[in-house]
Amino acid sequence: MIRGIARKFFEGKKCLFCDNYGLYRLADKRVKCKHCNKYYSIKKLKRDLKILYYFYLEVSAKKTAGEMNLDYGVVHRKFMQFRKSIADYCNTEAKKLNGKLEMDESYFGGKRKGNRGRGANNKAIVFGILERKGRVHTVIVPNVSKETLMKEIENKTLKGSVFYTDGWKSYNSLHQFGKHSVIKHSEDEFAKDDNHINGIEGFWSYAKERFHKYHGIKKNNYPFYLKEMEFRFNNRNESVFNLLFDTCVRRRV
Ligand SMILES: [Zn+2]
């Protein structure tokens, strides 16, 4: 996978940023593009690509540092930089979700189980909207009030969609945006009909499993880890490595 990308960019002929031919070498061995005027080091590019490959495979920063004989801090900073690029990429997605939408909130981090509507015990409250057979959108919210959730729904979904939620009171006025279907959690867990939120619950499991793998994520970094999960989930059928390369490396070296 790396080799395919390498052939294009490691020879130092094709520009990493604008895809044009016409690079020349500077005295310090970096290459500069005569079209877009950007310059970079091919040696550093090779290193970054290798770090990205471990990131893609979900190898920890610690293990990657060991494998590559690099300082842990260097790899961790790179990983965080990748996550920030991914978050930027996710946040520019302007297309609204529509069709059959499942919505739910979940609590990330901390040891104690969160209490909905009351204090979240130092947890991050995440609100998620999942388009069936499509994308998921997540956002860390300050609370699960009607005002907070309805604002997100209004910004991120198309009117006329079908909304599936549980019976939480903040969703009570959803009918103003489209059809609202309230599921009954305990009774209908294995319901065969459409009335469920199994999709978004599946995403929570997916994301939480990964959160547990990284012990002690700093709370400030939660949004970036969350967007990484969103990105991986939404592109699960794509060539994720190539997409990561475009998102994380080509936009910033
Ligand atoms: Zn260029």
CA of 46 to the centre of ligand 1 (A): 18
Q: How far is the centre of ligand 1, averaged over its atoms, from the C-alpha of 237 (Å)?
A: 30
When pLDDT is averaged across residues 223-250 and rounded to a whole number, the result is 92
How far does residue 84's CA lie from ligand 1's centre (Å)?
Answer: 23
Let me know whether 135 and 225 are in one domain. Answer: yes
- pLDDT, position 93: 86
Mean pLDDT (whole number) for 187-192: 58
Q: Are residues 106 and 228 in the same domain?
A: yes
Q: Are 50 and 2 in contact (CB under 8 A)?
A: yes
- C-alpha 238 to ligand 1 mean position (Å): 26
- How much distance in Å is there from the Cα of 12 to the middle of ligand 1? 11
Going by pLDDT thresholds of 50, 70 and 90, the confidence category of residue 86 is: very high
Distance 13 CA to ligand 1 centre (A): 10
Tell me if 133 is assigned to some domain: yes
Pick from 24-28, 68-72, 109-113 the range whose average pLDDT is largest: 68-72
**25 plus 136 within the same structural domain:** no
Q: How confident is the model at residue 230 (pLDDT cuts 50, 70, 90)?
A: very high
- Count of domains forming the chain: 2
249 located within any domain: no
Residue 50 placed within a domain: no
What separation in Å is there between the alpha carbon of 114 and the centre of ligand 1?
Answer: 49
Q: How far is the CA of 18 from the centre of ligand 1 (A)?
A: 4
pLDDT in tens, 128-148: 999 999 999 999 999 999 999
Find the 22 Cα to ligand 1 centroid distance in Å. 8
Write out pLDDT tens, residues 97-119: 999 999 999 998 866 655 565 55
Q: What is the rounded distance in angstroms from the CA atom of residue 216 to the CA atom of residue 223? A: 14
Q: Give the H/E segment covering residue 233.
A: helix 222-234
Q: Are residues 35 and 109 in the same domain?
A: no
- Cα(5) to centroid(ligand 1), Å: 16
* Residue 51: pLDDT over 60: yes
Is residue 253 included in any domain, yes or no? no
Nearest Cα neighbor of 48 from 245, 199, 211, 183 is 245
Distance (angstroms) between ligand 1 centre and the Cα of 25 equals 13
Q: What are the angstrom distances between the C-alpha of 71 and each of 7, 83, 166, 224, 251?
A: 28, 19, 47, 22, 24
147 is in which domain, residue-wise? 100-234
Mean pLDDT (whole number) for 21-41: 91
Q: Are residues 201 and 116 in the same domain?
A: yes
